[in-house]
Amino acid sequence: MERLIKIPRFVRSLILYSCLIGALPVLILGYVSNTLYSNKLQEKVNRVSEQSLTQFQLRIEQILTMVDYSMTQFMNSHGLVAACRQRAGGEQL
């Protein structure tokens, strides 16, 4: 039969407390670094989202400005002004 080696109670307590004392700082450091990293990551995501929305808004404003300019040029074109001043006759309808 195999004989189990008996470990004295003092040695078991010493090993248990050593593990707890060694693991506690590691757990605290992990929790704190995880919390800080999560906050930094969320700030970066918010910043990137804000930049994307600003770029989208600028593109829309640019498109609207181009449409406004094009419509102004079209309304002021000589052919359109002449056609609007001409009276419509029965055969033109």
Sign of CA dihedral 64, 66, 67, 72: positive
Q: Is the pTM of this model over 0.75?
A: no
Distance from chain centroid for Cα 9:
56
> Residues 83, 88, 89, CA angle at the centre, nearest 5°?
140
Helices (H), 3-91: 9-75, 78-85
- Compute the distance between CA of residue 43 and CA of residue 38 in angstroms, rounded to an integer: 9
Q: Give pLDDT tens digits for 8-59.
A: 888 889 999 998 899 999 999 999 999 999 999 999 999 999 999 999 999 9
